[in-house]
């Protein structure tokens, strides 16, 4: 891949700064996952380098993220519960992470990435806010100096007992971390405040020999391949591997492509969605191979990279190299990092993920959007992340279809031309003969005829009075789906059985093609009953043309 040498300086400082920001987050996410801090570092290095090089967003920095870590922790916790220990469960965990990467590649190959643009904002808002809440809640126990339960209900039920065994030193360190992260940028933004908190408070805790939990020993040197653990996996229940892998793949795709959109807005460029998914998939396969936790495009680190001068994919590679240097030379110091400090860092991450704008506007946006957002938020926290997104998408689609159906039916009208009120009549429906006005029934269609509108259409059809001719005006119908076609077919069959002539004027290409494809034209509606404009249709009626309008 050619490198833009003119951007080398910006890429160097952008990647280096992103690496500095990524270090405490990688350690914290690794610890939260249940695989240890080193797994987070492995993940940040592997996916950061490979996704940068093979992905479709040049400025994107990838690594462990809040959403991916939350799901990974569930996967790891379930596997440990099933097999009894992390070592025994490692084969299954690696298989899930590996397969998630494969699924992401397939999403890119089959060009699914482009559909991220259709994700409704309430679904994204509820999902991200839910992730933020999960991250914060999972740090309640570490904040007070204890190991956190793995699921949200257990955390809430365990709070009374927790409050009786508070480690005051842990509370002080975690609180100090949060204070430094929020206040240090007021002094300077040149150094990431999370890194400042990590270094200062680790030194304080070490020098004062504070009795708080620390990360502990971190493996030294380059990571070892873990693929041999796949020999121990149990394939008798493949869905135990496939379902979590699909969840991780889908979540990683959403997470990454949302970050890609943020990068596009900042750089005024256009990312390649499907290529990005392939890069993320390759990165997560590499992560799984070395025993790291999977990741995705990281919004905060990407923003830092861009603001620090990063413009090409080289910045992501430099970010990973910086973390690799830390891995090779700073393990002896990283093991001293207090867990309450990492808890404080993660709490600020969770606070930053919550969509306050969306929550603030709940009273002011359409009620349906507010309901969707709150439902997705609740399901994300208390049920399952992927199910939350799926339910949100289904709800959003149903409510959108209902709204479009209501709009289409409200704009559609029918009646004798002479009976139309001024607002209902179309501009060209004037100066018609009395015979036409009294005996020809007009049906206006305004908008697509789709499955959400068919019930309304059938109701309107059943309400037709006794007439000789009905003109369906379809100039404003850009699209008909299968449900719409069959609704029209049923209506035409019923009208013909009553001896009513059906004429269609101004039909557009897609609806016309669809009606021809099922032979509705010409079997039920002859070609001569199609008119390119309204007045050609009226002239045909007034001139006879075998249309009997005798009262």
Q: Which of 339-343, 419-423, 434-438 has the lowest mean pLDDT?
A: 419-423
Query: Kind of pairing, strands 413-416 and 440-446?
Result: antiparallel
Task: With a cut of 50, say whether residue 551 has pLDDT above it.
Answer: no
pLDDT interval class at 249 (50, 70, 90): very high
Q: Is omega for the bond preceding 180 within 30 degrees of 0, making it cis?
A: no
DSSP conformation letters of 363-386: TTS-HHHHHHHHHHHHHHHHT-HH
Angle, CA 169 vertex, CA 166 and CA 175 arms, to 5°: 95
φ, ψ of residue 401 to 5 degrees: the values are: -60, -40
What is the structure's pLDDT at 276?
96
Percent of the chain with pLDDT over 90: 27
pLDDT interval class at 465 (50, 70, 90): low
Q: Please give the average per-residue pLDDT across 480-496, as a whole number.
A: 83
What is the structure's pLDDT at 437?
67
Task: With a cut of 60, say whether residue 522 has pLDDT above it.
Answer: yes
Task: With a cut of 70, say whether residue 464 has pLDDT above it.
Answer: no
What is the structure's pLDDT at 23?
85
Q: Please give the average per-residue pLDDT across 10-14, as a whole number.
A: 87
Tokens of 173: 């360190």
Percent of the chain with pLDDT over 70: 87
What is the structure's pLDDT at 459?
62
SS3 286: helix
Task: With a cut of 50, say whether residue 1 has pLDDT above it.
Answer: no
Q: Would you mind telling me the total number of residues written for the chain in this entry? A: 551
Q: Which residue has the tokens 């093609």?
A: 513
CATH architecture for segment(s) 412-542: 2-Layer Sandwich (3.30)
Angle between helices 385-411 and 239-267 (to 10 degrees): 60
How many other C-beta atoms are found inside a 10 Å radius of the C-beta of residue 478? Answer: 13
What is the structure's pLDDT at 16?
86
Q: Which of 58-67, 120-129, 354-363 has the lowest mean pLDDT?
A: 120-129
| 299 burial level (CB within 10 Å; 0-12, 13-18, 19+) | buried
Name the strand (E) or helix (H) holding 487: helix 482-497
Task: With a cut of 60, say whether residue 152 has pLDDT above it.
Answer: yes
What is the structure's pLDDT at 420?
47
pLDDT interval class at 412 (50, 70, 90): low
pLDDT interval class at 452 (50, 70, 90): low
What's the pLDDT tens digit per position in 55-114?
999 999 999 998 899 889 989 988 998 888 999 999 999 999 999 999 999 999 998 877
Do residues 301 and 117 make contact, with C-beta atoms less than 8 angstroms apart? Answer: no
CA distance 101 to 99: 5
| CATH 3.30.750.24 in the chain, residue ranges | 412-542
CA distance 24 to 196: 10
CA distance 319 to 302: 11
What's the pLDDT tens digit per position in 258-317?
889 888 888 888 899 999 999 999 999 999 999 999 999 998 789 888 887 889 999 999
Q: Which residue has the tokens 């990647």?
A: 15
CA distance 131 to 102: 24
Mean of the per-residue pLDDT values of the chain: 84
DSSP state of 225: P
């Amino acid at each position: 891949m050619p490198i833009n040498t003119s951007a080398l300086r910006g890429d160097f400082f952008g990647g280096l700064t992103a690496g500095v920001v990524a270090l405490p987050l990688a350690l914290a996410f690794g610890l939260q996952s249940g695989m240890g801090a080193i797994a987070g570092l492995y993940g940040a290095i592997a996916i950061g380098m490979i996704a940068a090089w093979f992905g479709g967003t040049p400025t994107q920095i990838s690594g462990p993220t809040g959403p991916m870590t939350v799901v990974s922790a569930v996967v790891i916790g379930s596997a440990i519960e099933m097999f009894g220990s992390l070592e025994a469960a490692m084969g299954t965990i690696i298989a899930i992470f590996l397969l998630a990467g494969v699924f992401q590649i397939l999403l890119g190959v089959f060009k699914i990435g482009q559909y991220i643009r259709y994700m409704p904002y309430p679904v994204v808002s509820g999902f991200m806010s839910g992730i933020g809440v999960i991250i914060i809640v999972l740090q309640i126990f570490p904040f007070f100096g204890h190991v956190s339960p793995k699921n949200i209900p257990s955390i809430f039920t365990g709070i009374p007992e927790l409050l009786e065994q508070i480690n005051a030193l842990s509370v002080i360190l975690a609180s100090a971390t949060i204070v430094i992260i929020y206040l240090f940028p007021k002094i300077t933004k040149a150094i990431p405040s999370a890194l400042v908190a990590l270094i200062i408070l680790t030194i304080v805790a070490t020098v004062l020999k504070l009795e708080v939990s620390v990360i502990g020993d971190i493996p030294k040197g380059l990571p070892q391949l873990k693929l041999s653990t796949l020999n121990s996996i149990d394939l008798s229940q493949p869905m135990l591997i496939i379902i979590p892998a699909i969840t991780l793949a889908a979540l990683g795709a959403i997470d990454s492509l949302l970050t890609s959109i943020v990068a596009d807005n900042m750089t005024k460029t256009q990312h390649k969605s499907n290529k990005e998914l392939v890069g993320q998939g390759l990165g997560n396969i590499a992560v799984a191979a070395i025993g790291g936790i999977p990741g995705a495009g990281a919004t905060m680190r990407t923003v830092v990279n861009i603001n620090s001068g990063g413009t090409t994919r080289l910045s992501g590679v430099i970010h990973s190299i910086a973390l690799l240097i830390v891995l090779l030379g700073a393990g002896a110091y990283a093991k001293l990092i207090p867990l309450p400090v990492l808890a404080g860092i993660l709490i600020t991450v969770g606070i930053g993920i919550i969509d306050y704008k969306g929550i603030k506007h709940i009273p002011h946006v359409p009620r349906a959007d507010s309901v969707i957002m709150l439902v997705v938020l609740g399901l994300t926290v208390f049920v399952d992340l992927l199910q939350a997104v799926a339910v949100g998408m289904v709800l959003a689609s149903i409510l959108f279809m209902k709204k479009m159906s209501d709009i289409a039916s409200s704009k559609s009208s029918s009646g004798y031309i002479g009976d139309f009120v001024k607002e209902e009549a179309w501009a060209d429906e004037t100066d018609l003969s009395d015979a036409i006005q009294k005996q020809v029934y007009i049906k206006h269609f305004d908008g697509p005829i789709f499955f959400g509108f068919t019930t309304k259409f059938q109701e309107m059809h059943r309400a037709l009075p006794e007439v000789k001719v009905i003109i369906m005006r379809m100039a404003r119908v850009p699209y008909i789906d299968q449900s719409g076609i069959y609704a029209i077919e049923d209506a035409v069959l019923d009208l013909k059985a009553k001896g009513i002539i059906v004429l269609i004027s101004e039909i557009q290409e897609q609806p016309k093609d669809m009606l021809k494809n099922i032979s509705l034209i010409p079997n039920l509606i002859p070609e001569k009953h199609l008119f390119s404009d309204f007045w050609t249709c009226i002239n045909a009626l007034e001139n006879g043309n075998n249309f009997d309008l005798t009262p």
